[in-house]
Amino acid sequence: MIFQRSKPLVTTTHYARPSRPMLAQLFNRVGAYVPHEPLDVAMLLDDARRQTSLDDYGDPAFREPLARLVESIEAEAKLHALGRSIMKGRLVALLANRLRVIQYLKDHPEAERKELLRPIVIAGLQRTGTTMLHRLLAADYRARALMSWEALAPVPLPGERPGHAGKRVRNARIAEQGLRVLSPEFFAIHPVEAEAPEEDVLLVDLSFTSQAPEATLHVPSYAHWLETQSLDPAYTFLRNTLRALDHQRSGDWWVLKTPHHMEYLRELLAVFPDAVIVQTHRDPQSTMASFCSMVAHGRGIFSDHVDPREVGRHWLRKVRRMLDRTQSVRDAVAAEGAGAKCRFVDVHYKSLVKDPIAEVERIYAAAGRPLDDRARSAMEFARSRDTQHKYGKHVYRPMDFGLSPALIEETFADYRARYAIAHEREKKPVAAPSATAADTAVRTENPALAVLTGIVSLASKHDSFVPLGPEYRMDGKTVLITGANVGLGKAVAVDLARRGARMILACRSGIPEAGHEIIEASGSNSVEMLRVDLSDASSIVELTNTLAARGERIDVFIGNAGVMPAKATPSAQGFELLYAVHLFANALLARRMLASGVLPNDVYASNGRRGRDVARIVYVASESHRSSKGLDLERLGDVVPYGVTDGTKHYGDSKLALITYATELARRMTDAVGVSVGVHSLCPGPVHTKIARNAPAFIEPILEPVMRMTFAPPEVAAAPVSLLAAGPEVEGETGWYLHMLRKRDPSPWALDPAHGRALWDAVESRMKAWL
């Protein structure tokens, strides 16, 4: 029975929490308590011999790659029970296929002598239209392509008569159905249909030297080792396997396809010197995240441990390597001039989608082959059959893999320029929602409601990101953070110091004790404390003057300090304390550091820094901003009486003002060239602090233990701050708002450009004496 869904599938972005069928979950839960037998090369070889009754594996060059792969799987892949079972079966099947191919060539020596002339080889990056083009070219009645069922079993199985592959096709259909059930999301991204053309990388797998393991498993040591090896033996075996396939069912020419060939064009051309190589091109901004999503979904089939950022890091470097190695071969072929036997054809994704037959004609012209009406009709039919989103819609985002647009752009800038690759997607500004009503989901009218809202948000959180691992370093970076002597700020300072950042802690108290504690906790001596009173504009001016006089260059400014007074309190300049600390202090610090170049930016300092290495500003705000019913900009910062019972309402108003300012500053630090300074804000979620001390006496004994048991400790709540300060996905980005580790829009008031401009003007008016 064909697996069907009641509604169209849309892939998820919860890569770190792979979903799978109930039976698979049960198998893994039970399997977790059952001791497993480690994969062993000798046992795998023996299992394949017993399965086939054959024992000639041919060239022993495959043995070291197999051993390296098995070692890496055992040490690094973290397979769950079902993944281990599947992988063992897969390895034995590959060995059995190798035995059968060698025996087939012994039985049919004429097959190994046949020349495969002028194959068309599609060797483009992943997600650049290679599958679409492959299926078009394979539709030609004269062409020979590898079918999925052949990739799973290249030569006849025992009991199959020549020319009758029914058993292999049935087995492939079962495998197809199994993949649909086990991971419908992966199938939606990369359909593996039993009777459709498939990548010949699965034949390179017979020598255990392909990219397939690193695309489906976390096996970094194997992947890095493989990059140091020659794949000549593997490509010789690939050619011989294709000869065995051609002997069973021949064509006028072969159509091959896999991105793997980009890394090994030298080896490919050694066995197919007259190949026509088609390199497909597409905007890397579209392809990188799409492929990383496919990898992450694929790894989720075998393991419960999927690290999306690791996937992004690994494949960003890998794709860059593939491009470099391809270009090296292309340059060498170009140097040969007219004497070169092979030909390269460049196909752009946009052109392929717009007029695929025209691109096919270009390829055929390079190959010296005509495109007749019969082939053209077959290709048109294939085009109508293989539609996009046939099995579901693929959703993906670069940020999920620690990839910012700026990082992708810088990595592939020369590739884009060399092949004139157009940008597919221009960033569109987010339309501001209507700012006519408060978000009633957040209730902060008093401390008790604020606590209850916090508990609910923790219980119902759906994170977009996982916390940054220790491998994300800030060596050589300088961070200025306010309010770092206690609580959340102190936890952030410890974390960033551990990552190698030089920390400047701007605090009113705790000097030098808090600094010593941070040094001891982080193991870093690069921690300095400077005194500042954020409720006094003159003190802020003194701090920024000191930083400028010292020639400081701040890479990340974190406006963390916050207050929650028991009643309305005037600052040194007569502003209400909530606004003085949350809004005016953060605005004044940023504006003065930008103007002096302490915060480097090409708007103020003309230093030309753009791209992913721009400075960052991170403001710690609160979800309580959603409870605000709007700001009175005419009286912004005026002292309005309040007490404990309604203080949280005014707290939410001040945080709305901060987030609105951050959003407007982000707009002003972005122009046609790009982002000059990234500006972000966040709510860390409910943090166990001393806010309960301002509650009524009869409530405090209840609130304090509830908060201690249910709110996050500062060390946990620091995760979103560290992400915005050090996360690679934020490089070159601006305007992010996080609620804990979930990226979302702030309230409509904060997004409204007109409201942002009006608040900016109000802040400038009140701060003009100190700017």
How many angstroms separate the CA atoms of 702 and 456, rounded? 17
Q: 436-468: string of b/e by CB count within 10 Å (b at 16+)?
A: eebeeebbbbbbbbbbebbeebeeeeebbbbeb
Residues paired with residue 576 on neighbouring β-strands, in sequence order: 570
Q: Token pair of 273, please? A: 């010197």
Report how far apart, in Å, the C-alpha atoms of 502 and of each of 482, 528, 770 are.
Answer: 14, 8, 28
The residue written with tokens 């890998």 in the block is: 318
Largest CA distance in the chain: 96
Segment holding 376, helix H or strand E: helix 373-385
pLDDT at 6 over 70: no
For 39-69, give the secondary structure using H, E and C. Answer: CCHHHHHHHHHHHHCCCCCCCHHHHHHHHHH
The residues near 702 (Cβ < 8 Å, ≥ 6 apart) are: none
Of 291, 282, 298, nearest to 314 by C-alpha is 291
Beta strands 615-620; 677-683: pairing state: parallel
Phi and psi of 11, rounded to 5°? -65, 150
Cis, peptide link before residue 512, omega less than 30° from 0: yes
Q: Considering Cα of 574, then 578, then 579, then 582, what sign does the dihedral take?
A: positive
Q: How confident is the model at residue 45 (pLDDT cuts 50, 70, 90)?
A: very high
Of 100, 93, 92, 83, nearest to 40 by C-alpha is 92
CB atoms under 10 Å from CB of 722, counted, come to 21
Residue type at 762? A
Q: Which tops the pLDDT comparison, 355 or 390?
A: 355
Report how far apart, in Å, the C-alpha atoms of 209 and of each of 205, 229, 298, 353, 668 are.
Answer: 6, 9, 19, 33, 51
pLDDT at 182 over 70: yes
The residue written with tokens 């496919």 in the block is: 294
Taking only the tens place, the pLDDT of each residue in 472-513 is 999 999 999 999 999 999 999 999 999 999 999 999 999 999
Q: Which tops the pLDDT comparison, 270 or 426?
A: 270
Q: Which of 70-84, 460-474, 557-571, 689-703 has the lowest mean pLDDT?
A: 689-703
Residue 181: the pLDDT is 87
Beta strands 670-671; 737-739: pairing state: unpaired
Residue type at 599? L
Phi and psi of 33, rounded to 5°? -100, 0
Residue 155: the pLDDT is 97
Phi and psi of 147, rounded to 5°? -90, 155
Query: What single string gives the DSSP state of each residue in 705-742?
Result: HHHHHHSBPHHHHTHHHHHHHH-GGGTT----EEETTE
Of 454, 744, 432, 430, nearest to 627 by C-alpha is 454
How many angstroms separate the CA atoms of 740 and 454, rounded? 11
Distance of CA 459 to the CA centre of its chain: 26
Distance of CA 463 to the CA centre of its chain: 14
The residue written with tokens 């005194």 in the block is: 531
Taking only the tens place, the pLDDT of each residue in 189-246 is 888 899 999 999 999 999 999 999 999 999 999 999 999 999 999 999 999 999 999 9
Mean pLDDT of the chain: 90
Residue 647: the pLDDT is 85
Q: Token pair of 591, please? A: 């504006």
Do the beta carbons of residue 196 and residue 131 sit within 8 Å?
Answer: no
How many angstroms separate the CA atoms of 414 and 416, rounded? 5
The SS3 call for residue 683 is: strand
Q: Token pair of 156, please? A: 């006849």
Report how far apart, in Å, the C-alpha atoms of 554 and of each of 66, 142, 551, 590 are.
Answer: 49, 64, 10, 11
Over the Cα atoms of the chain, what is R_g? 31
The residue written with tokens 């960052």 in the block is: 616
Do the beta carbons of residue 148 and residue 203 sit within 8 Å?
Answer: no
Residue 19: the pLDDT is 76
How many angstroms separate the CA atoms of 706 and 692, rounded? 10
Q: Which of 91-95, 164-168, 359-363 has the lowest mean pLDDT?
A: 164-168
Do the beta carbons of residue 278 and residue 120 sit within 8 Å?
Answer: yes
CB atoms under 10 Å from CB of 162, counted, come to 8
Q: Which of 116-125, 148-157, 379-388, 596-605 has the lowest mean pLDDT?
A: 596-605
Q: Token pair of 43, please? A: 């046992």
Residue 447: the pLDDT is 54
How far from each other are the two terminal CA atoms of the chain, in whole angstroms? 72
Phi and psi of 122, rounded to 5°? -85, 110
Taking only the tens place, the pLDDT of each residue in 543-567 is 999 999 999 999 999 999 999 888 9
Beta strands 674-675; 670-671: pairing state: antiparallel
Q: Which tops the pLDDT comparison, 37 or 693?
A: 37
DSSP state of 752: -
| Share of residues in the chain with pLDDT > 70 (%) | 90
pLDDT at 605 over 50: no
Residue 15: the pLDDT is 81
H-type alpha helices, 400-506: 405-411, 413-418, 447-459, 487-498
pLDDT at 458 over 70: no
The residue written with tokens 């034995």 in the block is: 92
Taking only the tens place, the pLDDT of each residue in 63-72 is 999 999 999 9
In the predicted model, what is the mean pLDDT of residues 168-175? 95
